[in-house]
Amino acid sequence: MSIVHHPDPSNLMCYAAGSLPEPLAAVVACHVSVCPACRRDIAMLEIAGADLVSSLAGVEMRGEAPRLVAGLGATADAPAAKDAARHTKAEMDKKRSVDVPAPLVSLVGPRLDQIAWKYLAPGVRHYPLPLSKGAQGDLRLLKVAAGLRMPEHGHGGAEMTMLLAGAYTDAFGRFATGDVSDLDTDSEHQPIADPDEGCICLFATLAPSHYKSPLARLMQRFTGL
């Protein structure tokens, strides 16, 4: 997996501090489970944060900084980070049979092709994911048909999307498996799913999108996105 796009550093910092809103934290947790670079960054941020707390409190903290868990129970020590040589052949075969990020497996199972997708709009299926009571925003899986152009839109709040399979292209580049699109309220785009594979995404937003098309705004009443 060659990951090109990562969460914004400010959001990695908030994730390490445990202050990132739950839907966004879930996306970061899934990305971290497959991205060694971001795991290292978060580990460094946690250690720096622990040192800062220690200095402010005037006490010594021994050992490694605690792993801050955000959204759906991911940790910096996810299975993807381990040395494959430590696994038995059976364990490796089992790992290859999983294409859902580790933090999501308990919610949707290990295989994307076994998810009970629900109709959302023409060419789009979804699978809503639960959030804690009172949590702000929306979290769901989206499956978009090959070549489909999503409606052009801006954002009423932060939006974060991780590609789980396939790819899409928008004004910010091409996003493939493992990549994260991390957008704020100043960003506008129109994702176009890969013409051959389409795409499957983990999608999180803190507020509904702002669609330019009247038809898309009408559909929003039913989709909630």
pLDDT digit string (tens) for the chain, length 225 residues: 689 999 999 999 999 999 999 999 999 999 999 999 999 999 988 887 666 666 665 544 344 333 333 334 433 343 333 333 344 444 444 445 579 999 999 999 999 999 999 999 899 999 999 999 989 999 999 999 999 998 787 777 899 999 999 999 999 999 999 999 999 878 888 899 999 999 999 999 998 766 666 666 666 666 766
pLDDT at residue 223 in the model = 72
Ranges of H-type helices in 76-211? 89-96, 105-108
In whole angstroms, what is the distance from residue 146 CA to residue 30 CA? 24
The sign of the dihedral angle between the CA atoms of 33, 171, 145, 225 is positive
Looking at residue 65, the DSSP 8-state letter turns out to be: P
In whole angstroms, what is the distance from residue 136 CA to residue 208 CA? 11
Asked whether the beta carbons of 72 and 103 are under 8 A apart, the reply is yes
Half-sphere exposure of 84 (CA within 13 A, CB side): 6
pLDDT at residue 154 in the model = 75
Distance of CA 155 to the CA centre of its chain: 17
Please report which helix (H) or strand (E) contains residue 52, including its range.
Answer: helix 36-57
Identity of residue 142: L
pTM of the model: 0.76
Looking at residue 66, the DSSP 8-state letter turns out to be: P
